Amino acid sequence: MSRRSAPDSVGAFILHDQLLAPLTTWGVGGYAKTLVTPRSRDELIEAIGWLKTCCSSFFTLGGGSNVLIGDGVIDIPVLRTTETRDLRVSVDGENVFIDCAAGTKLSEVLALTIKEGWSGLEFAAGIPGTVGGALSGNAGTLRGAMDKSVVMVQTVEEDGSKHEWKADDMKWGYRRCGLLENTSRVVIGAKLKLSLSDRGLVLAAVKEALESRGLQPCGHRTAGCVFKNPQGHSAGMLLDRAECKGLVVGGARVSAAHANFIENMGACSARNIMQLALICKKRVFEMFGVTLSFEIKTLGIQEEDIYVGR
């Protein structure tokens, strides 16, 4: 792909041969041949339209959490949304509506709700990443998830047209949004519905939500929970009982604080992380007969490419 093939308005935010590791919370990942970094919602729409005309596929990267990028060269273009952050607020009676661009950090939205005393997003305390990523994975905790707050989602479709979807159209599931599993559909924004409340009550609920998440690793780079909770089970508890805490492969280590987190201890590769994750997955299956599914998304590295022996 050549920069000359893009119109000047798009070429202005195309970068080549860019290291992706600094753009992820794990701090691992190879080079993107083409990194597209629009700076507004309008530029995002224009960039998506251009990408759809010049390549068969591309990968959308938000805040870099919940994703594992391979160590080699990433041939498909990477579209980074984190510069497209804006918030538009409107109030109707007791209801507060926040229109967020896809690249807006979920933590920024939560901080605004705490400051203003708006209730409905307290469950998101401690969840990293962007609004777009949170929608794609229906991010949440036992206290709630994104599907409970969404009114409308804006996307760019395969043919380049914009579309607005109601919450009921989204096909929500546990840590998934069926509508957004179509990789040719890209989120550009969403409208969230909250309610007027009291600042003190909202802050107290946020603190309770953080405490309910339990002890989580700090001081090392992670990407959030590696595996989804199987039905009727806690992935973290299964991994703990399978004695995965403290396991090490290269520069990757299963956290001693929470067995569903893998830490980058330095000099870590994506391959180290995937190998360690698959060892943990195998242990859980052999001990409990439960097959864990990844919560993280991957780019340029596949489970089937890595052999894990006993």
- Cα 226–chain centre separation: 12
User: To the nearest 10°, the Cα dihedral for 238, 286, 291, 223?
Assistant: 50
In the chain, the largest separation of any two C-alpha atoms, in whole Å, equals: 61
Please give the Cα distance from 163 to 69 (Å, whole number): 29
The encoded tokens of residue 252 equal 């990757």
Catalytic annotation, residues: 175, 225, 295
Strand pairing class (186-196; 176-177): unpaired
Q: HSE, CB side, 13 Å, CA atoms: give it for residue 105.
A: 13
Is residue 228 within 8 Å of 235, Cβ to Cβ?
yes
The encoded tokens of residue 36 equal 């597209």
Please give the Cα distance from 296 to 111 (Å, whole number): 25
Residue type at 185 in one-letter notation = R
Is residue 146 within 8 Å of 132, Cβ to Cβ?
no
Alpha helices (H) in the chain, listed in sequence order: 8-11, 41-54, 106-116, 131-136, 199-212, 235-241, 270-288
